[in-house]
């Protein structure tokens, strides 16, 4: 009896959590007349990919399709990930492998800057982007997201670097490897899974961001996906089919990446605990 109640509660939670995601996908697969039917269909009765075809091939403005926004977003996110991963790996190595005077101060600063409300930085960063002449360019967003993702990336990578047994590097040093060689041949391959996990977090940050992209980009053909979605769909509340198709295409990569990180995170942390 008690078990039934617990399982029932579990099903309710699962329904509440997953239903919006299901409803998004289900709506995107229904023809418009089913979407606006007076009685909603729990499952698409006449599944169709029409809405996907419409947004992928149709021009939202002359010469610009949904795929272009997808590319803009991907370009910004991937560049951010590469830069942030590189800079974070160097800093994480410094923090996890060396004892130096300002180490604790640096860690505290890292913790504090993660708490800066980014929403409060739109105005001064807008000023900086204007001064640098980067207004209305994708690099303005890459720079911004680099700053946002870096503190967390260093914080997270620090754990992965620390989990690599120091003895391996010492052995390589005894064998005569230089510091650069140790970094490239010993540390880097072992930290790579952690770097992947960290990169995915940076990717999600850059991919999802709306406010700065809304403020720094003016030309429609340079919009990132979130801006395009609020601009083209947010104002027209009736086109729910294409809106849900676009939302699904925007959301799926994030969900896939997110689930990947979850597993990697756990295995990475557990491996570290066992070795340490």
Partner 1 sequence: MTTLTEAPETPAAREIPVRRRRPVDRLPYLLLLPCLVVIGVLLLWPLGQVVVMSFHQLNNVRQLRGDREWPWVGLGNYTQILGDPFFLTVLRNTVLFAVANVVLTMILGTLVGLLLNRLGRKMATFVASCVMLAWATPALTGTIVWKWIFDDTSGLVTWLFNALPDGVSETLFGRSDWTGYGWFNSPLLFFSILTLVVVWHSFPFIAVSVLAGLKSVPSELHEAARVDGAGPWRVFWRITFPLLRPVFGILIVLSTIWDFKVFTQQFVLAGGTQDRPTFMLSIYSYAEAFSPPPKYGLGAAIAVILTLILLVVTGVYVRMVLKQEDES
Looking at residues 159 to 198 of the shown chain, list those that interact with partner 1 (rule: CB under 8 A): 179
Q: Is 207 in the site for partner 1 (CB under 8 A)?
A: yes
| Token duo for residue 253 | 């990569």
> Is the CB of residue 215 less than 8 Å from the CB of residue 126?
yes
CB of 33 to partner 1, least distance (A): 11
Instruction: Give me the least distance between CB of 62 and partner 1, in Å please.
Output: 24
Q: Which of 1, 62, 63, 98 binds partner 1 (CB under 8 A)?
A: 98
Q: Name which of 35 and 156 has its Cβ closer to partner 1.
A: 35
Dihedral angle sign, alpha carbons of residues 80, 83, 86, 91: negative
Residue-wise over 176-208: b if at least 16 C-beta within 10 A, else e?
Answer: ebeeeebbeebbeeebeebbbbbbbbbbbbbbb
Q: Which 12-41 positions form the footprint of partner 1 (CB under 8 A)?
A: 13-18, 20-21, 23-24, 27, 35-40
Task: Kindly indicate which of the ranges 48-56, 72-80, 119-127, 184-192 contains the residues binding partner 1, using the contact rule CB under 8 A.
Answer: 119-127
Task: Specify whether the CB–CB gap between 134 and 140 falls below 8 A.
Answer: yes
Report how far Cα 103 is from the mean position of its chain's Cα atoms: 28
Judged by CB under 8 A, how many residues of this single chain contact partner 1?
90
49 binds partner 1 (CB under 8 A): no
Q: Number of helices and strands (H, E) in the chain?
A: 13, 2
Contact between 45 and partner 1 per CB under 8 A: no
115 binds partner 1 (CB under 8 A): yes
Which residue(s) pair with 59 in the sheet? Answer: 65
Subset of 242-271 contacting partner 1 (CB under 8 A):
243-244, 247, 250-251, 254-255, 258-259, 262
Candidate list 45, 67, 71, 113; residue touching partner 1; CB under 8 A: 113
Structure tokens, 59: 């021009």
Instruction: Tell me if 136 sits within 8 A of 218, measured CB to CB.
Output: yes
Q: For partner 1, which stretch binds (CB under 8 A), given 52-60, 65-73, 150-158, 169-177? A: 150-158
Let me know: does 254 contact 201? Beta carbons within 8 Å: no
The 10 Å Cβ neighbour count of residue 250 is 20
Output 161 or 222, the one with its CB closest to partner 1.
Answer: 161
Determine, following the binding rule CB under 8 A, whether residue 121 of this chain makes contact with partner 1.
yes
* Nearer to partner 1 among residue 10 and residue 165 (C-beta): 10
């Amino acid at each position: 009896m008690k078990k039934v109640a617990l399982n029932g509660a579990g099903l309710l939670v699962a329904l509440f959590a997953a239903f919006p995601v299901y409803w998004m996908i289900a709506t995107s697969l229904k023809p418009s007349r089913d979407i606006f039917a007076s009685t909603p269909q729990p499952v698409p009765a006449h599944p169709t990919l029409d809405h996907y075809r419409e947004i992928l091939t149709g021009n939202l403005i002359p010469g610009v399709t949904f795929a272009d926004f997808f590319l803009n977003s991907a370009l910004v996110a991937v560049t951010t990930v590469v830069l942030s991963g590189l800079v974070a790996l160097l800093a994480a190595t410094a923090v996890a492998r060396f004892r130096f005077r300002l180490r604790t101060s640096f860690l505290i600063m890292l913790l504090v800057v993660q708490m800066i409300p980014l929403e409060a930085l739109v105005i001064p960063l807008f000023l900086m982007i204007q001064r640098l002449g980067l207004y209305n360019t994708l690099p303005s967003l890459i720079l911004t997201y680099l700053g946002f993702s870096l503190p967390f990336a260093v914080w997270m990578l620090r754990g992965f670097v620390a989990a690599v047994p120091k003895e391996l590097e010492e052995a390589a040093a005894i064998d005569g490897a230089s510091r650069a060689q140790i970094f490239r041949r010993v540390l880097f391959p072992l930290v790579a899974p952690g770097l992947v996990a960290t990169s995915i977090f940076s990717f999600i940050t850059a991919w999802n961001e709306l406010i700065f992209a809304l403020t720094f980009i003016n030309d429609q053909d340079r919009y990132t996906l979130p801006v395009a979605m609020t601009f083209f769909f947010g104002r027209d509340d009736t086109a729910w089919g294409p809106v849900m198709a676009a939302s699904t295409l925007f959301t799926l990569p994030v969900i896939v990446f997110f689930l990947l990180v979850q597993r990697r995170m756990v295995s990475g942390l557990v491996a570290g605990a066992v070795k340490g």
